[in-house]
Amino acid sequence: MQHKTENNIFEINSDTDGQRIDNFLLKTLKDLSKSNIYKLLRKGQIRINGKRSKPTTRLTVGDLVRVPPFVLGENQELFISENLLKAVRDSIIFSNNNFLVVNKPSGLAVHSGTGVKVGLIEVCKELFPETEIQLAHRLDRETSGCVVLAKNRQALNDFNQQSKDNNITKKYLALVKGVIKNNFEVELPLDVTTRSGGERTVTVSEDGKYAKTLFRVSEFYQRQIKSTLLECQLVTGRTHQIRVHAAAMEHPLAGDIRYGDEKFNQKLRKLGLKRLFLHASSIEFTDNDEKIIVSAELPEKLHKILSEL
């Protein structure tokens, strides 16, 4: 496990051997912006074995990385409630020597950041203090379901390579506006450079990156509110991909405040929907040539919404 020999000094172990100092700092000092980290490096305030370092300097086992004490905010102890610890512990649906899969609740961010003090990764590090747990991929805060965490750097690297090679299968369940009776697929490039109110907004744009989603009809509803439950499979993994692709086909997701239909959302709120209806229902990957398939049941509150339709 990565550990501090003093409050502001980190000793490098085998899991971070060979990693660049800038990447190490970006993962370790999550409360600092990228520009601030590079500023500290440029000014020589980050030291490796007492010496200044460049952002590209590679770390080796036994190196001592000194960070200015004021950066860590040691007086601000991270507080994680027992209820949250229990909720995440009870949400673990798979665990072996290399990976952990959590059925993440909606509303819990995967990591801390602007306006978010505690995320899934911070909770898991508290639950497993002797394991160097790292996020293997991300899930939007509003989305529930399967999140994979790696227990060591080799496992993380293996997962990342599978992701690059498109050898990971991710499936989601989404409730969308309108009655759809046939399966379909969407290939539309997505641009994530647009900013709206300081938040990330994704648009369909020729300048964007290639993105493809497969949509399969699971069930459609015509009695109360015309809507369809879709199984969505990501061929690529772009930010907000399912939400934007569905909206582009005039079938926005239920409860989607950013890309959705307000009248459709209002009708579903009356039935009790208080979140985005998007759930990461399964993920398939390999671990040392062993096929791992993990499924996460649709939350009871979403089942209830479907029963009202």
Give the pLDDT confidence of 32-54 residue by residue, as tens digits: 778 888 888 888 888 898 888 88
Residue 140 catalytic? yes
Residue 35 lies in a domain: yes
Which listed residue (140, 207, 261, 289) is catalytic? 140
The DSSP string of 82-109 is HHHHHHHHHTEEEE-SSEEEEEEPTT--
Dihedral sign, Cα of residue 177, residue 178, residue 184, residue 190: negative
* pLDDT given for residue 294 in this prediction: 97
Last residue of a domain, one of 132, 161, 190: 161
* pLDDT given for residue 273 in this prediction: 96
Q: Domain check: are 126 and 200 in the same one?
A: no
Residue 77 lies in a domain: no
Q: What pTM did the predictor assign? A: 0.75
Give the structural domain span for 200. Answer: 169-308
Average pLDDT, the chain: 88
| Angstrom distance (rounded) from CA 153 to CA 136 | 10
**Residue 60: which residues within 8 A CB-CB, separation 6 or more?**
12, 17, 18
Q: Domain check: are 227 and 113 in the same one?
A: no
Rounded average pLDDT over 231-243? 94
Window from 74-88, 92-106, 178-192 with minimum mean pLDDT: 74-88
| Domain CATH code at residue 49 | 3.10.290.10
* pLDDT given for residue 71 in this prediction: 62
Which has more pLDDT, 14 or 299? 299
